């Protein structure tokens, strides 16, 4: 197994035969690399679903895919099949909503640990996936900015993301989204057990608790722009057979727009989280903005 950094701040390629990812000690090595580089790219490794699922199990406990179950053969194995050829409105929304920068699992107090994405059919046009290193972005903030953000709390919800897909979402849309992922508060700055910190922002970040709506939106947009600068990001252009594993607590990610004709088909599994989001919220913090 050969691991090579992609940029100074994010990502590494992994050169390994498909079957070798299940060798003794391979999972531990990959988890160590994942925590170091945040994104692991296996170029055209051409992994079968069976090995994909076995690797997922070797890395941790897999999330069930009840919400994303579309009745496909992949879904029957526990895999989320990501493609736009779906009739169900909510299923299509989940996929289209990925075009916005986000963190997986903000509907949980213990968010997703990692996501595995396998390219079954590369898009003819568009459909790249972008990643932004939240650990590096937070570390690079000026100290006075870090002090100003300390203790703020942020509300996350599905409607914050999916309402962006419509000019005029209906009350029924909001009710449907809130039934899946209602507003949940998190600290804006997640101080993790590793000693690193991440800003819990992205498309599901709806508001800063106790802050004026206009100022709240301006701050969230400012932080998103900061974290998605070129120096903190890696954009992956998919080829058939690629596998990417990413470290969810340290990243924002997004897909870049593509249409139905692009033929993009991905298989996804996710690992259950291992670390709860802590809170150091202070009721006075919002006054700083």
The predicted-structure confidence for 111-121, as pLDDT tens digits, reads as follows 999 999 999 99
Task: Return the percentage of the chain with pLDDT > 70, whole number.
Answer: 94
Q: Are the CB atoms for 75 and 68 separated by under 8 Å?
A: yes
- d(CA 114, CA 201) in angstroms, rounded, equals 17
Structural domains of the chain, ranges and CATH numbers in brackets:
2-288 (3.60.130.10)
**Backbone dihedral region for residue 33 (phi beyond 0: left; psi -120 to 50: alpha; all else: beta):** alpha
- d(CA 199, CA 119) in angstroms, rounded, equals 29
- d(CA 177, CA 159) in angstroms, rounded, equals 6
Q: What is the pLDDT of residue 283?
A: 34
Query: pTM value?
Result: 0.90
Q: What is the pLDDT of residue 266?
A: 95
3-class secondary structure, 139: helix
């Amino acid at each position: 197994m050969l691991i090579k950094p992609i940029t100074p701040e994010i990502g590494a390629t992994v050169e390994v035969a498909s079957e070798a990812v299940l060798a003794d000690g391979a999972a531990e090595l990959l988890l160590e690399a994942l925590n170091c580089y945040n994104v692991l790219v296996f170029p055209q490794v051409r992994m079968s679903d069976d090995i994909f699922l076995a690797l997922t199990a070797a890395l941790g406990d897999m999330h069930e895919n009840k919400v994303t179950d579309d009745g496909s053969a992949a879904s029957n194995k526990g895999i989320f099949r990501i493609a736009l050829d779906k009739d169900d409105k909510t299923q299509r929304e989940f996929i289209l909503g990925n075009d916005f920068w986000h963190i997986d699992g903000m509907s949980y107090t213990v968010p997703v640990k990692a996501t595995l994405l396998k390219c079954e059919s590369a898009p003819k046009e568009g459909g790249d996936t972008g990643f932004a290193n939240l650990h590096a972005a937070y570390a690079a903030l000026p100290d006075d900015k870090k002090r100003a953000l300390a203790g703020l709390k942020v509300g996350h919800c599905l409607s914050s993301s999916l309402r962006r897909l419509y000019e005029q979402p209906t009350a029924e849309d909001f009710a449907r989204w809130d039934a899946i992922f209602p507003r949940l508060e998190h600290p804006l700055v997640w101080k993790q057990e590793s000693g690193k910190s991440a800003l819990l922002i992205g498309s599901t970040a709806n508001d800063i608790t106790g802050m004026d709506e206009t100022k709240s939106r301006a701050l969230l947009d400012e932080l998103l722009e900061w974290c998605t600068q070129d120096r903190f990001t890696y954009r992956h252009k998919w080829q058939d057979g690629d596998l990417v594993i990413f470290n969810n607590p340290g990243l924002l990610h997004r897909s870049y727009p593509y249409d139905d004709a692009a033929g993009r088909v991905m298989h996804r599994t996710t690992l259950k989280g291992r670390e709860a989001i802590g809170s150091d919220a202070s009721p006075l913090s919002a006054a700083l903005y």
